[in-house]
Structure formats: structure tokens, C-alpha cells
Amino acid sequence: MILRKVSYYLISICAFLIGLYPIIYFVVPDRTFGLLASKSKELLDNNLWNTMFYTHIIFGGIALLIGWLQFNKKLRLKNISFHKKVGKIYVISALLSSFSGFYMGYFATGGIIAKSGFMTLAIVWFLTTFFGFTTIKNGNVIKHQKLMIYSYAVCFSAVTLRIYLPLLSPLLGGLPAYKLIAWLCWVPNTITAYLIIKYQFKTT
């Protein structure tokens, strides 16, 4: 019980901090930092790429920022209307961010390994979120809960990526580390979600 509470609060703090991170792209005029540092001037001047980039970080930030609230059982049971409203915002944000993230993944630095890692991440996030929404519309609460656990686990890759990057880059070098992290940032999260679901729904 204590471990669960500590984990929940740790996740919420990380989600809050990284969820607000996209703000930096609007307050810092220099476009040579973070993700932008590895992109060519031609790409940075491309209107479609910029539209997808800002769609991805804005709505991804919102999804990360509010998604953890949905796993507070007391809050959910006490105010189901709030749960539904937050859920709708999360679903819209996640679908927009994953769709644009798929496009962004195609331009990822690191060749086919990094591209396929981020594009697969986007597909998994989109599908788990979409079917998580459709199942609750059809009244299947248990399946909805399982799918949304997977959805937020993949969404949380925004946090795990920023944990792995400074740890692995000095060891492997920037580009090799980035290729590995394109998969490492979300596959272990998905496995963790599977284990949580297996434990939490073992009697269902």
C-alpha cells in the first residue's frame, strides 16, 4: 500500500514537471535546443512539420499532465462526472499527439531504428487510447481500464525518455543512445503496464 502511494505521487510529480516542459519552446526564442537542436534548417522552416511538432508537444503535454488523475480511485468514485470530463480531454489530446507523433517519428534522428521505435510508439498510443474510449462507450469497464493503463504507460514515455537520455548518452554516445531509447522509453513501460494489469485484475 505504501509503495503504491509513493509510486503514484512520484508518477504525478514527474508527469506534472514534464507535462509543463513544452512551455519552454514558447518562451525561449532560440530554436537550437532540445529536439530542435538535431533538426535541419529546412525542416525547421517547414510549416507542416512545425504544425505537427507543436500539436505533438502541446497535446502530449496536456495528456501527460492530466492522465494520472484518472488512476485516483477515490477521486474517480467520488466525482464520476469529473472523471469523464478529464477522460475526454485526455483522449482528444492523446489521439492528436499520437497522430502528429507518428509524423514526427518519420523525421527522427537515428535512422530506421529510431524512426520505427517512435512511430511504433505512436501507433500503440493511438490504438490503446482509441479502443480504450470505444470500449467504455460500449459499457465494457474492465477492458476500458486495462487499455487506458496501457495508454498512459505509453504516454509516460515522455518522462522515461528524459530519464534514460542523460544516463545512457555518456555511456553509449548521443546517437547510439537515442536509437536505443526510441524503444527503451516505452517498451518497458508497456511491460510494466502488463504486470500491473495482471496483478490488479487477477480475480477478473
Residue 129: which pLDDT band, with cuts at 50, 70 and 90?
very high
Read off the C-alpha cell for 87: 477522460
Domain regions of the chain by residue span: 2-200
Residue pair 88/62 in contact (Cβ under 8 Å)? The answer is no
For residue 25, give Cα distances in angstroms to 94, 143, 157, 163.
19, 37, 19, 19
Residue 203 has pLDDT above 60, yes or no: no
Q: What is the pLDDT of residue 1?
A: 67
Other CB atoms within a 10 A radius of the CB of residue 163 amount to 14
pLDDT digits (tens, 9 = 90+) for 24-50: 888 877 777 777 888 888 898 899 999
**Separation of alpha carbons 57 and 65, rounded Å:** 12
pLDDT digits (tens, 9 = 90+) for 36-87: 888 888 898 899 999 999 999 999 999 999 998 898 888 888 889 999 999 9
Residue pair 125/101 in contact (Cβ under 8 Å)? The answer is yes
pTM for the whole thing? 0.91
- Long-range pairs for 4-10: beta carbons < 8 A, 24 or more residues apart: 8/68, 8/71, 8/72
Which H or E element spans position 68?
none
pLDDT digits (tens, 9 = 90+) for 91-116: 999 999 999 999 999 999 889 999 99
**Rg from Cα positions in the chain:** 17
